Amino acid sequence: MKLSLRQEQIIELVKENEPITSEAIAKELGLTRSAIRPDLSILTMTGILQARPKVGYVCVKNSNKGPKNSEIRNIKVKDVMSEPVLVKEDTPVYEAILTLFLNDTGTLFIENEGALLGAVSRKDFIKMAMGTADMHRVPVGIIMTRMPNIVSVSEEDSAFDAAKKIIEHQVDSLPVVRLELLRGKEVPKIVGKISKTTISMVFVKLGENE
């Protein structure tokens, strides 16, 4: 994997000062913690750095430990994706909330004839609940994030790239879409989802196989 200049700088800082906290790394680079969080996540997921609670980051001395980058890259989204929870655009917010919790998921995807229209998360529902609108009457389509403003992945993307998108965009899950023709128009058909939980399970399994 080709590292960015910032990631190379972080590695050198950790080598010279380990253990070093994320606050100290950010200060040395003249950045905020949130700015370097995606870089630290990528470096720890690929086994280059190790995060030690209440201590800081250290370099992994033995490069043979942890999942190899080639193994991670070979895992396709289609191999680990799960079923998305779908609702219609006119579903009342109250019913959508019930669907969310009954299926123990963090995001609902809104579709029409399989075509992805939008997504709504727990945060969206909380914002709605804090308002004065009647949740029994307002359709979920009113509060959803609409296409094309939704980050998605395809079945052939690597799970690693999906993990990077989840981190960079700070979302709980991504829809897996496949472009198909519907009434002569190419639309993104939702065929699955990949979530933080899915990614965590992938890395646990890779670690157990070492």
Is the same domain home to 126 and 143?
Answer: yes
Share of the chain above pLDDT 90, in %: 53
CATH of the domain at 193: 3.10.580.10
Is the same domain home to 93 and 45?
Answer: no
Q: How many structural domains comprise the chain?
A: 2
* Residue 155: per-residue pLDDT: 94
Local structure of 117: helix, strand or coil: strand
* Residue 65: per-residue pLDDT: 46
Closest among 164, 169, 156 to 199, alpha carbons compared: 164
Distances (CA, A) of 97 to 35, 101, 172: 33, 6, 16
| Cα torsion through 117, 120, 124, 129, rounded to 10 | 100
Is the same domain home to 179 and 84?
Answer: yes
* Residue 28: per-residue pLDDT: 93
Is the same domain home to 39 and 80?
Answer: no
> Do the domain assignments include residue 210?
no
Q: Domain of 33?
A: 5-65
Is the same domain home to 153 and 127?
Answer: yes
* Residue 97: per-residue pLDDT: 95
Is the same domain home to 177 and 111?
Answer: yes
Closest among 106, 79, 82, 84 to 205, alpha carbons compared: 79
* Residue 42: per-residue pLDDT: 81
pLDDT under 50: residue ranges of the chain: 63-66
CATH of the domain at 16: 1.10.10.10
* Residue 33: per-residue pLDDT: 87
> Do the domain assignments include residue 134?
yes
> Do the domain assignments include residue 150?
yes
Its pTM stands at 0.67
* Residue 107: per-residue pLDDT: 94
* Residue 66: per-residue pLDDT: 47
Is the same domain home to 143 and 192?
Answer: yes
> Do the domain assignments include residue 128?
yes
